């Protein structure tokens, strides 16, 4: 597993075709920053595609966050991690905190990648949480999930920028925030969104995941907007 410098990280979400992902990677290769490292978040679309694993193995110049969102019983999660041990260039793998303490601890023993504990999805709001039977306020639930992730040995938690600062302070664990949008962009299905700058500075996130604000429309122009926004 690649050792990373002590910089904050910006993951570009490759929730797209492999051909589009290759173009995005090419656009990133000449980007340099004193403040940030750029990484790649790879989700279901590429991982489950016919040539997905071969493509993942071909990436050598960027840290990789494999966003599997593991969410199952302990034994199934262990078997899944054993099955992807051939992917030796993975730096981070996501696992739902709702799997429970023991399942996360077992996962940590198997993989060399840093585990990222998924809290409550950024597409959820209080109403949707109630629909699936949760009675806690969303902020309190996410804090409890973050504390469990810390106890289980996760490297960081996945949470929205709305909760990041509080988690840093009270759960004492790093945060990586999805639900990132550039100013003026549509929020789409996301409910708890912030800008890259707010997440990385005001909310003190260790990293962000930004997808549709980069991959929708003109990718080169979108990268320029991001770089101008962060003053790279």
| Domains and their CATH numbers in the chain | 8-230 (3.20.20.70)
For a pLDDT cut of 70, what percent of the chain falls above it? 93
* 14 vs 36: CA distance, rounded Å: 18
Task: Say yes or no to pLDDT of 201 above 60.
Answer: yes
Sign of CA dihedral 133, 66, 143, 208: negative
Residue ranges of alpha helices (H) inside 65-157 are 74-83, 101-110, 126-131, 138-152
**So what's the pLDDT on residue 2?**
47
Give the integer Cα–Cα distance in Å for 203 and 194. 9
Q: Which of helix, strand or coil describes residue 114?
A: strand
Q: Which residues of 94-123 are buried (b: 16+ CB within 10 A; e: fewer)?
A: bbbbebeeebbebbbeebebbbbbbbbbbe
**Looking at residue 213, what is its pLDDT?**
86
pLDDT at 94: 98
Residue 92: which of 212, 232, 206 has the closest Cα? 206
Q: Is 174 left (phi over 0), alpha (psi -120 to 50) or beta?
A: beta
Quick check: 72 and 99 in contact, CB under 8 A? yes
Q: Among residues 20, 69, 197, 225, which one is catalytic?
A: 69
For residue 215, what pLDDT is reported?
Answer: 84
Q: What is the pLDDT of residue 1?
A: 47
Return the higher-pLDDT residue of 34 and 92.
92
Per-residue confidence (pLDDT) for residue 184, from 0 to 100: 63
pLDDT band, residue 147 (cuts 50/70/90): very high
Does 29 score more than 50 pLDDT? yes
Known active-site residue 197 = no
Give every CB contact of residue 32 below 8 A, 6+ residues apart in sequence.
Answer: none
Q: Classify burial at 56, counting beta carbons within 10 Å of its beta carbon; exposed 0-12, middle 13-18, buried 19 or more.
A: buried
Q: Taking a C-beta distance cutoff of 8 angstroms, is the pair 148, 154 a contact?
A: no
pTM score of the predicted model: 0.89
Q: Are 122 and 138 in contact (CB under 8 A)?
A: no
Statement: residue 192 has pLDDT above 80:
no
What mean pLDDT is predicted for residues 132-159? Answer: 93
- pLDDT confidence bin for 123, thresholds 50/70/90: confident
Model confidence pLDDT, tens digit, residues 68-112: 999 999 999 999 999 999 999 999 999 999 999 999 999 999 999
Cβ atoms 89, 60 nearer than 8 A: yes
């Amino acid at each position: 597993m690649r050792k990373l410098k002590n910089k904050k990280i910006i993951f570009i979400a490759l929730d797209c075709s492999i051909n589009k992902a290759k173009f995005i990677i090419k656009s990133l290769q000449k980007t340099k920053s004193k403040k940030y490292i750029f990484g790649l978040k790879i989700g279901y679309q590429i991982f489950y595609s016919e040539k997905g694993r071969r493509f993942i193995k071909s990436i050598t110049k960027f840290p990789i966050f494999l966003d599997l969102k593991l969410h199952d019983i302990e034994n199934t999660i262990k078997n899944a991690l054993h099955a992807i041990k051939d992917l030796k260039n993975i730096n981070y793998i996501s696992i739902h905190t709702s799997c429970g303490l023991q399942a996360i601890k077992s996962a940590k023993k198997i993989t060399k990648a840093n585990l990222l504990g998924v809290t409550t999805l950024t597409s959820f709001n209080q109403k949707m949480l109630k629909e699936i039977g949760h009675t806690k306020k969303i902020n309190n639930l996410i804090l409890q999930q973050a504390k469990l992730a810390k106890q289980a040995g996760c490297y960081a938690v996945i949470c929205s920028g709305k909760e990041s600062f509080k988690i840093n302070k009270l759960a004492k664990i790093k945060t990586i925030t999805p639900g990132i949008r550039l100013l003026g962009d549509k929020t789409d299905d996301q409910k708890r969104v912030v800008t890259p700058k707010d997440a990385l500075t005001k909310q003190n996130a260790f990293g962000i995941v930004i997808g549709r604000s980069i991959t929708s429309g003109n990718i080169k122009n979108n990268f320029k907007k991001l770089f101008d926004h962060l003053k790279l």
